[in-house]
């Protein structure tokens, strides 16, 4: 049985600088695989190479057994790609755009309408079929981007920072949609936000300075996540007492009148719990992120281990 994705000795250089170096990984089953790294670590380079947007300097990439350089058209039939900025034509309606992308994916003419309807249904945008994309909210534009990535039923869906810029309510819906897609196909998802990887992925691959410094299950990665803390910005800040009522929170403190640091017990749904409480109690959550210093500490720890 062919691997869904196999990367062997992958390296790429821009001018004299190596963006990624000696990357090896293999994915054989459905689910969400997280590609975690700081900005500039090499995540987007890897994703662009996997999707055939960029030809690597060295190494081999195969999608469902097809070499992305030697059999590029065959390999691309198995790939859906959602770049960080979705490739939307905003003067088209949702129907027009998805019909166009179905044609680009070489779906047979008689099957295009059904493919468009199924993609809209799966992403929850059927009620916006005739609306111009430019008149959709950011969250629904992202759904249209996801619809074009799955319209041809690929085995591998590659998503580059898919939740970037979404508000808390849109985040919940986007995560739910990504989980649903991963039940039928493999999702390779990149992010520099630890909470996104932690909430969505069964496996995590950490990239730093163009090299893999960690590749294992999320359970194994969780060993590096102590202590657990989030930074949350509020429009209408709650009291410490109200925050402590959220299941899983062990400690809370306000750093400013609008921003709190929340410590929690490792509950992987803590962000959803805080957001749900914020919605019901009108805290008007503006941002929710893992504490940046924590992620930096993990990078340093894993990087030092990889060099030993």
The pLDDT value given to residue 268: 67
Q: Which of 173, 99, 182, 187 is nearest to 137 (CA)?
A: 173
For residue 102, which phi and psi values (nearest 5 degrees)? -65, -40
Query: pLDDT tens for residues 260-276?
Result: 999 887 666 888 899 99
pLDDT for residue 105 is more than 90:
yes
The pLDDT value given to residue 186: 95
The pLDDT value given to residue 2: 72
CA distances from 214 to 41, 206, 207, 295, 302 (A): 13, 5, 7, 13, 7
Q: State pTM to two decimals.
A: 0.75
pLDDT for residue 4 is more than 60:
yes
Q: What is the mean pLDDT of residues 176-196?
A: 89
**Tokens 């019901």 found at:** 280
pLDDT mean across residues, the chain: 89
Beta bridge partners of 160: 190
Asked whether the beta carbons of 116 and 98 are under 8 A apart, the reply is yes
Pairing relationship of beta strands 58-63 and 203-208 according to DSSP bridges: unpaired
Q: Domains plus CATH for the chain?
A: 5-222 (3.40.50.300), 225-306 (3.30.70.100)
The pLDDT value given to residue 295: 56
The number of beta carbons lying within 10 Å of the beta carbon of residue 183 is: 10
**Which residue blocks in 129-234 are alpha helix, DSSP H?**
138-150, 168-182, 194-200, 218-221
**Tokens 């600088």 found at:** 17
Q: What is the mean pLDDT of residues 130-136?
A: 97
Query: pLDDT tens for residues 16-72?
Result: 899 999 999 999 889 999 998 878 889 989 999 999 999 999 999 999 999 999 999
DSSP state of 100: H
Confidence class of residue 306 from pLDDT cuts 50, 70 and 90?
Answer: low
């Amino acid at each position: 049985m062919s691997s869904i994705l196999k990367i062997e000795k992958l390296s790429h250089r821009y001018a004299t600088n190596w963006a990624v170096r000696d990357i090896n990984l293999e994915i054989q089953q459905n689910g969400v695989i997280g590609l975690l790294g700081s900005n500039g670590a090499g995540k987007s380079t890897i994703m662009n190479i996997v999707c055939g947007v960029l030809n690597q300097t060295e190494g081999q990439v195969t999608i469902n057994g097809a070499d992305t350089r030697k059999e590029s058209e065959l390999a691309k039939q198995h790939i859906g790609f959602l770049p960080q900025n979705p490739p939307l034509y905003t003067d088209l309606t949702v129907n027009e755009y998805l019909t166009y992308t179905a044609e680009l994916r070489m779906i047979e003419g008689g099957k295009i309408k059904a493919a468009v309807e199924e993609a809209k249904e799966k992403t929850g945008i059927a009620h916006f079929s005739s609306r111009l994309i430019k008149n959709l909210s950011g969250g629904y534009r992202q759904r249209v981007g996801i619809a074009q990535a799955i319209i041809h039923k690929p085995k591998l869906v590659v998503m580059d920072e898919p939740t970037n810029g979404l508000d808390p309510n849109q985040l919940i819906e986007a995560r739910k949609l990504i989980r649903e897609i991963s039940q039928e196909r493999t999702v390779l998802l990149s992010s520099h936000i630890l909470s996104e990887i932690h909430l969505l992925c069964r496996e995590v691959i950490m990239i730093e300075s163009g090299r893999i410094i960690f590749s294992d299950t999320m359970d194994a990665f969780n060993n590096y996540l102590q202590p657990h803390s989030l930074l949350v910005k509020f429009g209408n800040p709650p009291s410490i007492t109200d925050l402590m009522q959220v299941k899983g929170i062990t400690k809370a403190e306000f750093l400013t009148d609008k921003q709190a640091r929340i410590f929690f017990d490792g509950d992987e749904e803590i962000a959803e719990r805080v957001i749900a409480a914020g919605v019901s109690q009108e805290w008007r959550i503006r941002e929710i992120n893992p504490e940046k210093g924590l992620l930096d500490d993990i990078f340093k720890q894993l990087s030092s281990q990889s060099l030993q």
